């Protein structure tokens, strides 16, 4: 099964908005398994480098804190894991979307510390890696639907990576630049 991870995702197997937004970040990679692991280590190192006093900072009214951004990354990775699992098992059900802004008020961030969030990211990504390790090429490339858009497990894996990179860029530009 080693070679089934090679290759970029097919943009036609992902929602257009996601391919446009996230696939720009993944061009340096050709192997999904390696990219998931490299992204895991990179993001953990990045999170550990954020000054403690910045984690609860908001750059504007009604904007998330860095804790909120990381919580959103975790929620989204779990949802994409679920979608990847369903589609990898050739389930053609059109899976529902989700409202990321409705999740944040219920994420219990006031009782979460930074080390716990970093550890949670590590554990969630390890689970993602194990999930993708279990898939064949046929599992990865079955195209189902999510929120009315095409969605394959392979594209979900690349979207997970691009989503993390996208939010790292936002943290750098909007939270750490001042």
What pLDDT digit, counting tens, does each position of 69-106 carry? 999 999 999 999 999 999 999 999 999 999 999 999 99
Residue 15 belongs to what H/E stretch? none
| 1 has a pLDDT exceeding 50 | no
* Every domain of the chain and the residues it spans: 10-175
Which residues touch 84 (CB under 8 Å, ≥6 apart)? 131, 132, 135, 153, 156, 157
pTM (2 decimals)? Answer: 0.93
pLDDT at 23: 81
Q: Which CATH architecture has domain 10-175?
A: Up-down Bundle (1.20)
Contact 152, 10 (CB under 8 A): yes
CB contact at 8 A, 154 and 18? no
């Amino acid at each position: 099964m080693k070679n089934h991870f090679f290759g970029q995702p097919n943009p036609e197997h992902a929602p257009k908005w996601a391919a446009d937004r996230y696939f720009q970040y993944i061009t340096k990679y050709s192997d999904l398994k390696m990219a998931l692991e490299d992204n895991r280590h990179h993001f953990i190192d990045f999170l550990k480098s954020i000054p403690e006093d910045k984690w609860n900072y908001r750059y504007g009214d009604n904007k998330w804190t860095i804790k909120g951004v990381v919580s959103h990354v975790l929620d989204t990775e779990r949802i994409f894991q679920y979608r990847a699992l369903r589609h990898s098992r050739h389930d053609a059900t059109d899976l529902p979307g989700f409202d990321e802004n409705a999740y944040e008020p219920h994420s219990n961030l006031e009782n979460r510390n930074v080390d716990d969030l970093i550890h949670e990211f590590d554990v969630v990504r390890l689970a993602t890696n194990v999930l993708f390790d279990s898939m064949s090429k046929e599992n990865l490339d079955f195209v189902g639907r999510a929120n009315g858009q095409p969605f394959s497990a392979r594209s979900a894996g690349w979207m997970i990576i691009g989503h993390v990179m996208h939010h790292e860029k936002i943290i750098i530009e909007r939270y750490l630049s001042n």
